[in-house]
Structure 1
Amino acid sequence: MDATLVLGQQGRLVIPAEVRSTLGLAPGDEMHLRVEGRRVILERQEDAVAELRGFASEVSKQRSLVDELLAERRQAAKRSE
């Protein structure tokens, strides 16, 4: 689905009704916006959260990212002494 939006005087965009309906958006829904290069990505808040949780699910439960980060910081501190 494609849509053309016009940026209003106050910087507002209106998402067309057909797009809102297709995405299941309702007034008051929170959206997440991110910029990638010269692109603007707008997605439902829950979809952004689910994507982040998906990344974390690939990390082994036995692996401690905090411990790894602390070890890296300690090594960096030793090198700079």
Structure 2
Amino acid sequence: MDATLVLGKQGRLVIPSEVRSALGLAPGDQLHLRLVGRSVVLERPQDATAELRGLASRVPQDRSLVEELLAERRVAAAAGE
């Protein structure tokens, strides 16, 4: 689905009703905005969370990212950084 939005005088955008319906958006819902290069991405917080969980699910269960970070910090501290 494509839509063209017009930026209002106060910097406001109106999301067309068919897009809001397709995404299940209602008045008062929050959206997360992020820049990807020169593009703007709007997403519901729960969709952003699901994406992050998907990324984390690819980390093997026997790998501890916390332990890796602590090890890196210990090396940096020992080097006087």
TM-score, normalization by structure 1 = 0.88
Deviates more, 1:68-77 or 1:31-40: 68-77
Deviates more, 1:16-25 or 1:57-66: 57-66
Q: Tell me which stretches of 4 or more aligned residues in structure 1 moved more than 4 Å.
A: none
Residue of structure 2 in register with 1:14 after alignment: 14
SS of corresponding position for 1:33: strand
For each residue in 1:2-26, what CA deviation from the matched residue of structure 2 results, as whole angstroms up to 9, or x when unmatched? Answer: 1110001111000000110111111
Residue of structure 1 in register with 2:74 after alignment: 74
> Between the two proteins, what is the percent identity of the paired residues?
73
Question: Partners in 1 of 2:20 and 2:76 — Cα distance?
Answer: 49
- Give the CA RMSD over aligned residues: 1.5
Unaligned runs of 5+ in 1: none
Give 1:1-80 correspondences, 5 Å limit. Answer: 1-80=1-80
Question: Partners in 1 of 2:71 and 2:45 — Cα distance?
Answer: 34
Unaligned runs of 5+ in 2: none
